[in-house]
Amino acid sequence: MKSSLKYAVLGENHKPYIAMVFVQFIYAGMALFAKAAISKGMNPYVFVVYRQAFATITLAPFAFFFESKQTSLSYNLIWKIFLISLFGLALSLNLYSVAIKYTTATFAAATTNTIPVLTLIIAVCLRTESISVQKLPGFAKVLGSVSSLSGALVFAFVKGPAINFMNWYPSTHHQTVDSVIKNHSVGEWIKGCFIMLAGNTAWSTWLVLQGRIVKQYPAKLRLTALQCFFSCLQSAIWAIASERNPSAWKLGWDVHLLAVLYCGVIVAGITYWLQVWTIEKKGPVFIAIFTPLSLVITAIFSAFLWKETLHWGSVAGVVLLVGGLYCVLWGKKREEGERVTNEQKIDSNKEEIVVECITHQ
């Protein structure tokens, strides 16, 4: 009985880790699908409207049937959810879609690795996360964040010698990379970099604010569906103002439809809910730390499916990235253990005081 209970507890503790790895597998395909659709002529603002619309349609039935008896919504709470949707989902997704038009899918996957550091900084500023560099767990979180970000950048931009046994079509690979870079001017590339950074900052802010909203409204499916709905309306206003051509809104049986279905149903519909659920369990920084994994997953699938060349610089980046990830997770786990121990000590002291009072009486 005790052993089965122990395994059940361990399984429950591992669920957030499994959920976040699954989310990063999904995100690994998002940049590729988004880049493919926008490169084929789809307006980036229209793309966001459709993906959020599909996400709302996917989540609404589940939210209605499974959480119909949850906490009621006040006008104040609706207003908060509307603002978070505006500055988080609508703003970050539109900036991301515009930025990927001027850059590449690989660059998009690489720059999302600024999210852990940005989230940690914003969480500390808003006092939802604390860091004490004088203590080992706090120092590990800072060191791990820097190492993870550095590893992702090395993985993306430092090539080094090619790994021979994975070097199937080196000449084709280099020609492809060169052609992609030449398609963008220096000005467009720089503009895309700054827009992507702004989008990542908005997304990091959304991750942090989710922790506060989910405490006020614990119905995670309904909360996610509402945010998708609000961001769809907000993005529609943005798209209509920027794109007046009706033909830009047409969807055919092509990569445009496939991309919005994937990003709407799979990315927005499923991963948003999983992230909100994990934020409630582990906090926003825990989610952000897993972001670098999507870059590694994308590279591995690209190497095996599309025969892309891997380099020793990528291996060095993976070592830094995984090492940083381990440091941060270890720091958070150590801090959680210390917090639980302190709470148990406080409860124990309270019980002793109560017993003493009863004994004296």
Q: What is the pLDDT of residue 35?
A: 80
Q: What is the pLDDT of residue 345?
A: 62
Question: What is the percent of the chain where pLDDT is above 70?
Answer: 76
At 207, list the tokens: 């991750």
Q: What is the pLDDT of residue 92?
A: 92
When pLDDT is averaged across residues 251-273 and rounded to a whole number, the result is 83
Q: Which residue has the higher pLDDT, 92 or 288?
A: 92
∠208-146-197 over CA atoms, to 5°? 55
Burial class (CB in 10 A: 0-12, 13-18, 19+), 233: middle
Q: What is the pLDDT of residue 239?
A: 92
pLDDT tens track for 121-174: 788 787 777 777 777 878 888 888 788 778 777 766 776 777 664 444 444 444
At 230, the pLDDT band (50, 70, 90 cuts) reads very high
- Distance between CA 314 and CA 291 in Å, rounded? 17
Q: What is the residue extent of each domain of the chain?
A: 16-360
Q: Which residue has the higher pLDDT, 181 or 104?
A: 104
Q: What is the pLDDT of residue 231?
A: 93
When pLDDT is averaged across residues 21-31 and rounded to a whole number, the result is 83
Question: What is the percent of the chain where pLDDT is above 90?
Answer: 9
Q: Which of 162-166, 192-196, 211-215 has the lowest mean pLDDT?
A: 162-166
pLDDT tens track for 60-83: 888 877 776 656 778 899 999 999
10 Å Cβ neighbour count for 91? 22
Question: How is 43-61 classified by DSSP, letter by letter?
Answer: -HHHHHHHHHHHHHHHHHH
Q: What is the pLDDT of residue 171?
A: 47
Q: The whole model's pTM is what?
A: 0.71
Q: Which residue has the higher pLDDT, 27 or 175?
A: 27
Q: What is the pLDDT of residue 219?
A: 81
Residue type, 243: E
Q: What burial letters (b/e) apply to 196-206, b meaning 16+ CB within 10 Å?
A: bebbbbbbbbb
When pLDDT is averaged across residues 103-122 and rounded to a whole number, the result is 74
CA 228 to chain centre: 15
Q: What is the pLDDT of residue 191?
A: 83
Q: Are 265 and 192 in contact (CB under 8 A)?
A: no
Q: What is the pLDDT of residue 190?
A: 77
Q: What is the pLDDT of residue 357?
A: 52
Q: Which of 100-109, 164-173, 226-235, 261-270 has the lowest mean pLDDT?
A: 164-173
At 233, the pLDDT band (50, 70, 90 cuts) reads very high
> 3-class DSSP state for residue 132?
coil
pLDDT tens track for 339-358: 767 666 665 655 555 445 55
What mean pLDDT, rounded, does the chain reach?
76
Q: Are 47 and 97 in contact (CB under 8 A)?
A: yes
When pLDDT is averaged across residues 246-252 and rounded to a whole number, the result is 84
Q: What is the pLDDT of residue 214?
A: 82
Query: Cα separations (Å) of 49 from 63, 228, 361?
Result: 20, 10, 69
Q: Which residue has the higher pLDDT, 287 or 348?
A: 287
When pLDDT is averaged across residues 318-324 and rounded to a whole number, the result is 78
